[in-house]
Amino acid sequence: MNPYIEILRPGNALMGAIAIILVAIIDKTISIPIILAMIAVFFETAAGNVINDYFDYKIDLINKPERPIPSGRISPKNGRNYGYLLFLLGTICGFLISYLTNNWIPFAIVLIADIVLYLYAYKLKSTPLIGNLTVGFMTGFGFVFGGFTLNNPDIILTSIYLGFFAFVMTTAREIVKDIEDIEGDKIEGAKTLPILIGEKIPAMIAVCLIIIDSALCPLLYYYNIFGILYLVVIAIAVLLFLYSAFLIFKSQDRETAKKVSKYLKIGMLIAFVAFVFGSFNF
């Protein structure tokens, strides 16, 4: 794969854009602003991935040496400039959305995303728990961005519900990923929770967040946000979430953390499918 495509982590960036797609499906709306919002989230997520790789390439020499910058296929300077270009493209999309809808909240959200994503890569990632919360916040922020792009009060409220779900589960996954990456983070001198207080307590925090989110899932049906099919599909995701919580509770070794991180990501994808199914009455 071309290193300039690989460094975007296109699958990850597309998953970010899924938030907009889901909100559009729930509202049963497709428009130029929504398409621009999908593109904006893709660019912003990709920019965050690239600038993160730029700042973290020394850590990645230990944890992910195959990535484009630590492997030498992209120079740090070119990686940095590439990230700046992607931020600019995402910001332009945000401006166009607000210009077309005469609603400047989406543009403000993109500007906030620019700042938060850069600060995360530069400083916040190595800040205990704050870095994890930042990633969770930005994931949930995508749903809210979609809601304000549509500018429908009911959809805005729904997007906030979905954003909260994504925020909590993503935060849990980020904590698990810190356990997975503890070896390289120690060498680089990062101060993540597992490094400061050991793996056990962060694992318990992740378990609590997973259980809380799993327990809250049925509320989206109870409050008539989604239909009965949502419950059927979300049950699969909840079972996977709870199994992941059991695994990381039982063991905090690197291989288990890697497995749990993967399961949580799959579970979130299944949850997104549940959101889609739940938005239709068959």
Q: What residue ranges do the domains of the chain occupy?
A: 3-278
Q: Is the per-residue pLDDT at 155 higher than 90?
A: no
Q: Is the per-residue pLDDT at 201 higher than 70?
A: yes
User: CA torsion 211→214→220→221, rounded to 10°?
Assistant: -130
Q: How far apart are CA 50 and CA 75, in angstroms?
A: 12
Q: Looking at residue 127, what is its pLDDT?
A: 79
Q: Looking at residue 281, what is its pLDDT?
A: 59
Q: Looking at residue 240, what is its pLDDT?
A: 96
Tens of pLDDT, residue by residue over 73-84, are 888 899 999 999
Mean pLDDT value across the chain: 89
Q: What mean pLDDT is predicted for residues 154-159?
A: 87
89 — pLDDT class (breaks 50, 70, 90): very high
Q: Is the per-residue pLDDT at 202 higher than 70?
A: yes
Q: How far apart are CA 146 and CA 207, in angstroms?
A: 29
**Token representation of residue 80:** 């940095």
67 — pLDDT class (breaks 50, 70, 90): confident
Q: Looking at residue 47, what is its pLDDT?
A: 95
CATH fold, domain 3-278, is: Farnesyl Diphosphate Synthase (1.10.600)
Q: Is the per-residue pLDDT at 1 higher than 90?
A: no
Q: Looking at residue 90, what is its pLDDT?
A: 96
- Residue 92, burial from CB neighbour count under 10 angstroms (0-12, 13-18, 19+): middle
Q: What mean pLDDT is predicted for residues 230-255?
A: 94
Q: What is the pTM of this model?
A: 0.84
